[in-house]
Chain A
């Protein structure tokens, strides 16, 4: 079983739609959690950290459920520029950082 698993996607949504991505992790001792965005053939870039109480950054909302070992990302009012691959990242107890395989989002006009 992979340590970090994500919805396989792809997600194809119209502009203005709300879309949600899910991620599960296997190591209950994991320390911290992040969502990254990756554009084609580019390096991953931090979208947002995920805090225990949940957090919001504009149109983006991240949630963490430690009991279920589950992380989510909600994007409201999708824009064309949101088209990218979204990567779930988990910091393990040994400071290793593990990535999910990513979920590809395409927002269409």
Chain B
């Protein structure tokens, strides 16, 4: 019953370093999402992949890239980390059908110094 698995759970980076956050789901879902959540705020959509082979920008895509490696995996890359990217990052997946909710991973807590 793994559901959505994110790695790592915690990471500290220095400004300018690069990093890839990994996400995998075992529910055979078509759609996958990356969000960031800053203190006291809701989740903001960074990128999403409605189905394997497609990716689209969300609300806050600047400074990020994504790869939908296969149906199971959707990674988020920070090419040159900035302190403004300090946040909690959540990955989610859902079936690509109306009324199907999302399932979330536990989150990655990322600090950039």
User: What is the CB-to-nearest-CB distance from B71 to chain A, in angstroms, rounded to a whole number?
Assistant: 15
Could you tell me the distance in whole angstroms from the C-beta of B113 to the nearest C-beta in chain A?
20
Closest Cβ neighbor of A96 among chain B residues: B48
- Cβ B104 vs Cβ A98 within 8 A: no
| Complex interface bits, B81-100 against A, C-beta within 8 A gives 1, otherwise 0 | 00000001010101010111
Indicate which residue in A34, A43, A95, A101 contacts B106 across the interface (CB closer than 8 Å). A43
Question: Would you call A49 an interface residue if the criterion is a C-beta within 8 Å of the partner chain's C-beta atoms?
Answer: yes
Q: Is B35 an interface residue (CB 8 A)?
A: yes
CB distance from B22 to the nearest CB of A (A): 16
A99 pairs with B99, CB closer than 8 A? no
Residue in B31, B44, B99 whose CB lies within 8 Å of A95: B31
Using known A-B contacts A96-B58, A97-B45, determine if residue A91 contacts B92 with beta carbons closer than 8 Å.
no
A32-B99, A45-B104, A49-B101 given as contacts; is B56 within 8 A of A94 (CB)?
A: yes
Kindly supply a per-residue 1/0 record for chain B positions 37-80, scoring 1 wherever the CB is within 8 Å of any chain A CB and 0 otherwise.
00001111100101000001011000000000000000000000
Chain A residues lying within 8 Å of B103, measured Cβ to Cβ, are 46
How would residues 35 to 71 of chain A score, 1 for a CB under 8 Å from any chain B CB and 0 otherwise? 0100001111110010100000000000000000000
Return the contact of B107 from the options A43, A89, A99 (Cβ within 8 A).
A43
CB-CB < 8 A to A34: which residues of B? 101-102
> Which residue of the partner chain, among B102, B105, B106, contacts A97 with CB atoms under 8 Å?
B102
CB distance from B86 to the nearest CB of A (A): 15
Residue of A nearest to B59 (CB): A98
Chain A residues whose CB sits within 8 angstroms of the CB of B45 once the complex forms: 96-99
B104 touches A100 (CB 8 A): no
Chain A residues close to B by CB (< 8 Å):
3, 6, 31-32, 34, 36, 41-46, 49, 51, 87, 89, 91, 94-102
22 A/B residue pairs, CB under 8 Å, sorted by A:
A3-B59, A6-B42, A32-B100, A34-B102, A42-B106, A43-B105, A43-B107, A44-B90, A45-B104, A49-B99, A89-B101, A94-B56, A95-B48, A95-B50, A96-B33, A97-B33, A98-B59, A99-B35, A99-B42, A99-B44, A102-B41, A102-B42
